[in-house]
Structure 1
Amino acid sequence: MLAALVAGAYFFLQGPISQIIAATQGPADFTAEEAATGEDVVIMIHEGDGGSDITSTLVDEGVVKSFDAFYSILLQTTPEPVFQPGAYQLKTKMVASTALDALLDDGARLNQTVIVPEGTAAVDVLQSISEGTDIPLADLQAGAANVAGFGLPAEATTLEGFLFPATYTFSPGDTAQIVLQTMVNRQYEALDAAGVAVADRWKTIVFASLIQREAGLRVDYYKVARVFLNRLDPAQWESGLLQSDATVAYGTGNTHLVTTTDAERADAGNMYNTYAHPGMVVGPISNPGDLAIDAALHPADGPWLFFVTVNLDTGETVFSTTVAEHDAAVVVWQNWMREHPEYG
Structure 2
Amino acid sequence: MIHGGDGGSDIATTLVDRGVVKSFDAFYALLLEATPEPVFQPGAYQLKTKMVASTALDALLVDGTRLRQTVVVPEGTAAVDVLQSISEGTDIPLTDVQAAAANVGSFGLPPEATTLEGFLFPATYTFSPGDTAQVVLQAMVDRQFEALDSAGVAVTDRWSTVVFASLIQREAGLAADYYKVSRVFLNRLEPARWQSGLLQSDATVAYGTGNTHLVTTTDAERGDAGNAYNTYVHPGMVVGPISNPGDLAIDAALNPLDGPWLFFVTVNLDTGETVFSTTVAEHDAAVVVWQNWMREHPEYG
Mapping for residues 174-189 of structure 1, pairs under 5 Å: 174-189=131-146
Deviation at 1:70, TM superposition (A): 2.2
- The runs of at least 4 aligned residues of structure 1 exceeding 3 Å deviation read none
Equivalent of residue 107 in structure 1, options 55, 64, 76: 64
- TM-score (normalizing by structure 1): 0.86
Distance 1:73 1:276 in 2: 46
Matched residue type, 2:228: M
Deviation at 1:238, TM superposition (A): 0.6
Mapping for residues 38-77 of structure 1, pairs under 5 Å: 44-77=1-34
Equivalent of residue 263 in structure 2, options 282, 306, 315: 306
1:288 matches 2:288 = no
Matched with 1:173 is: 130
Distance 1:274 1:313 in 2: 27
Distance 2:27 2:226 in 1: 44
Structure with higher Rg: it is 1
Query: For 1:264-285, what per-residue CA distance to the aligned partner results, in whole angstroms no more than 9, with x for missing partners?
Result: 1111111111111100000000
Matched with 2:215 is: 258
1:327 matches 2:288 = no
Matched with 1:199 is: 156
Higher relative contact order, chain-length normalized (CA < 8 Å, sep 6+): 2
Matched with 2:73 is: 116
Matched with 1:11 is: none
1:213 matches 2:170 = yes
Moved more, 52-61 or 266-275: 52-61
Deviation at 1:248, TM superposition (A): 0.6
Matched with 1:268 is: 225
SS class of match (2:249): helix
1:144 matches 2:86 = no
Distance 1:119 1:209 in 2: 7
Matched residue type, 1:240: G
Distance 1:153 1:178 in 2: 19
Count of aligned residue pairs for this structure pair: 301
Deviation at 1:95, TM superposition (A): 3.0
SS class of match (2:44): strand
Deviation at 1:106, TM superposition (A): 2.2
Matched residue type, 1:185: D
Deviation at 1:52, TM superposition (A): 1.6
Deviation at 1:150, TM superposition (A): 0.2
Distance 1:174 1:291 in 2: 29
Matched with 1:336 is: 293
Query: For 1:85-129, what per-residue CA distance to the aligned partner results, in whole angstroms no more than 9, with x for missing partners?
Result: 101111123332222221111221100111100000000000011
What percentage of aligned pairs have identical amino acids? Answer: 88
Matched residue type, 1:128: S
Equivalent of residue 202 in structure 2, options 223, 232, 245: 245
Deviation at 1:301, TM superposition (A): 0.2
Deviation at 1:74, TM superposition (A): 1.9
Matched with 1:317 is: 274
Moved more, 102-111 or 216-225: 102-111
Distance 1:252 1:70 in 2: 32
Distance 2:92 2:129 in 1: 9
Query: For 1:258-313, what per-residue CA distance to the aligned partner results, in whole angstroms no more than 9, with x for missing partners?
Result: 11111111111111111111000000000000000000000000001111111111
Equivalent of residue 82 in structure 2, options 125, 132, 148: 125
Distance 2:181 2:88 in 1: 33
SS class of match (1:45): coil
Matched with 1:97 is: 54
Structure 2 unaligned blocks of 5 or more: none
1:85 matches 2:39 = no
Deviation at 1:67, TM superposition (A): 2.4
SS class of match (1:187): helix
Matched with 1:4 is: none
Distance 1:157 1:328 in 2: 41
Matched residue type, 1:94: M
Matched with 1:17 is: none
Deviation at 1:69, TM superposition (A): 2.8
SS class of match (1:107): coil
Matched with 1:297 is: 254
Moved more, 101-110 or 246-255: 101-110
Deviation at 1:54, TM superposition (A): 1.1
SS class of match (1:206): helix
Distance 2:221 2:194 in 1: 22
